[in-house]
Each structure stands twice: as C-alpha cells, then as structure tokens.
Structure 1
C-alpha cells in the first residue's frame, strides 16, 4: 500500500497540510505507519494554533470491505501549546486510540433534513472517487485531541494579575454559591 501525492486536479490551496492519499483498490489488510515530516508539522501547527508540533505519527491497521475502509490504531503526538491564560508554552504529549471508517459519499439526504446519527456514524469520513486521505484523518484526530482551554502552572497567578480571579470565583456557580436558601 503506497501513499499518493495530492491529485493534480485538486486546487493547490485545497491540499491538506498532511496528505497521505491511498487508492482504496490497493488497500491491503496490514499495518501502516503514517508520519508527518517537519514541513507538514509546521503547517499543521499553524492550522491548529499551536506553537509547534514536534512529532505526529499514527500506526494504523487498514481493512477494506468493498468500498469501505476502516483504520484502527494509535495516534502519537508531541506538541507545544500556549496556556489559555498566561500564554506560557506548555509541552503536551498525546497517545490515544483512533478509529475511523471511510465510506463512499452519498446524496441520500436533503439539506434541511434532520439526520439521526449513531455512535458508529461519528467516525465516518465520506470520500468521492477511489482515493482516501489517511493523513488528513490523522490530522483531524489530532485536532480533536487538543485541549482548547489548557492551562499551565502559572495560570492562577496570571488571572490574579489581570484581576479576573479563578474560574471558581467567576463562573455561574460562584453566583449561586452566594445565594442562601430561604428558611
């Protein structure tokens, strides 16, 4: 199974930063290692608002059933993210299981139609033609693993310096804490 470069008919600015396109007809049931290079990691860091991504790789077992391809394995990444409060650089390591299923795109719903999703549907990625992009699926899995509200050890000091207090002091529950029950 070999990854292909982005197709020539796709717009240059539409190509994902970390693309590993596979022809589903050549998918074999065996493990694959997909790793982002330095340029891809730098572009993904910019896309996801990270300081930098030091490593990003996924070891995936691919299986094909007709036109559906399942990928199951482990995502591993190391990156530096800014604290949401103090803006200090925080190193983060991620190692988590991933599972996604590539399915052919269908037009079996109308734009305003309500669609019922099951837990299995949430990991489905639709594709057209005969190619899937494992790299973009891995990148999206990384995006889901990033904590957008990550705070570091200096967050409370930064809050106090800015005069905003802690989340416990400012949240909806803080207002409720001040109320007394009627007797």
Structure 2
C-alpha cells in the first residue's frame, strides 16, 4: 500500500541547497486540499519564506509563514477570517536508527522541531503545511460569539453544563 500524496509538497534535494532563501506560495488547488485536510472553510493565501542551512546531513530551516484562512467560529459556526503570521524553525535530519520499545528517550525543546527524512531529499511543503495546521486556533471565536451565546442561552452556566443535574436536585 502506498502512502497518499501530500496536499502541499515541495521536495528539496540536499544537493540543491543554496544560500538564497526559498519562497513557497501555495496555489489554489493546494490551498483547497489543505483546507479540507484541516477542516476549515478556506485558505485564501499561504506563503512561506525559508532560509535553509545545511550542516552535513542536517538542514536547519528558519523563516516565516504567512497565511489568511477562513474558519468557523467555535460558538456560532459563522465564517471567521484569520490572519496567521508564524515563525518557522525546524531541522530536517536523517533517521536516528531503531529504538527499542522499552528504551527511554529524553527530548529537549530542539528535538521537538526535528523532522526525519530518508534519501537525499525532504518535503519542505509538507513541513510548512504542518506548521500551518499547528498555527490554526481550533477555539477561535468571531465578533458575534457573545451575542450568539446570549441569544441561545449559552451564557448561563448554572442551567447547563456538567453540574446542572446536580444543581436541580439541591433543595433551597
């Protein structure tokens, strides 16, 4: 079974890395596929500027990701435009080798930004897509969220919520 194609792919060959920064701009089809993957309404813009620095088999990528997305407000479900501007800092590394199931691994903050690759190329586009996914706030609220709560009686936590049934049993 083959792995599915990533929604946004930009392969970088280690032998082609230069001192010039890379600018990746997702086309409409890639943005539409990514919006579907992330469960949001749309991605109207996605651009990343990345500087790659190769140190042997490791490549450090730093830069900025800028995107404009439209997602649903978590309260009213109305479309909510959101601007994202995120720093990029990650390192692409060859596989570390086999780890036994009982082996204890200690991670540092730098280890969490490492992405393993095999061969002589890595997918910078997929790494950018994952950075965008982490930058999207799943609890974003639109400007009408408070009005929606008030209109639908969602502000009164005493009448709803996990302890509402217990409160009803309480005798005054």
TM range (shorter): 0.7 to 0.9
The residue aligned with 2:20 is 30
Secondary structure in 1 aligned to 2:29? Answer: helix
The residue aligned with 1:60 is 50
Between structures 1 and 2, the one with greater helix share: 1
Shift of 1:35: 1.0
The residue aligned with 1:19 is 9
> Are the structure 2 counterparts of residues 109 and 169 from structure 1 closer, same or farther at C-alpha, using a change threshold of 3 Å?
farther
TM-score (norm 1): 0.81
**Correspondent of 1:94 among 77, 81, 84:** 84
| Aligned residue pair count | 162
1:156, 1:166 within 8 Å by CA — same for their partners in 2?
A: no
CA RMSD of aligned residues (A): 2.2
Gapped runs of 5+ residues in structure 2?
163-172
- Residue 128 (str. 1) matches residue 128 (str. 2): no
Q: Mapping of 1:33-182 within 5 angstroms? A: 33-165=23-155
1:30, 1:63 within 8 Å by CA — same for their partners in 2?
A: no
> Are the structure 2 counterparts of residues 119 and 166 from structure 1 closer, same or farther at C-alpha, using a change threshold of 3 Å?
farther
> Are the structure 2 counterparts of residues 43 and 31 from structure 1 closer, same or farther at C-alpha, using a change threshold of 3 Å?
same
Gapped runs of 5+ residues in structure 1?
1-9, 173-183
Alignment partners' CA distance in 2, 1:17 and 1:168? 44
Alignment partners' CA distance in 2, 1:164 and 1:120? 42
1:72-114 CA deviation, whole Å, 9 max, x = no partner?
Answer: 0010000111100100111111112111100001224223433
Shift of 1:166: 6.5
